[in-house]
Chain A
Amino acid sequence: MESTFPYSVRLKFPGDLDYIAPVRKFVAEMLQAVNFGPKFAYRSEIVVDEICYNAITFGCQSPDATVEIEFSIHEDRMELVIKDPGKGDRSNRERLRHAVDGNLREADRKAGAKKEKLGLEIVKMLSEELNFEIDNNNLTSVRVVRKREEVSAKP
Chain B
Amino acid sequence: MGYPNQPHQRETPVLSRYFGDAEARSLEGWRKRGGYKALEKALGMAPADIVNVVKESGLRGRGGAGFPTGIKWSFMKPGDGKPHYLCCNADESEPGTFKDRELMRWTPHALVEGCAIGAYAIGAETAYVYIRGEFTEPLYWMEQAVKEAYAAGILGKNAMGTGKRIDVHVHKGAGAYICGEETALMNSLEGRRGNPRIKPPFPAVSGVFGMPTTINNVETLIAAAPILMNGADWYKKMSLSNPKSTGTKLFSVCGNVQRPGTYEVVMGFPFKEFLYDLCGGPPHGRKFKAVIPGGASVPIQTLEEAEATLMDYEGFVAQGSMLGSGGVIVIDDGQSMVSVIARIARFFAHESCAQCTQCREGTAWTTKIMERIRDGQGTIEDLDTLLDIAEQMTGKTICVLSDSCAVPVVSGIQKFRNEFEALIQGRRFHPVIAAVA
- The answer on A and B forming one complex is no
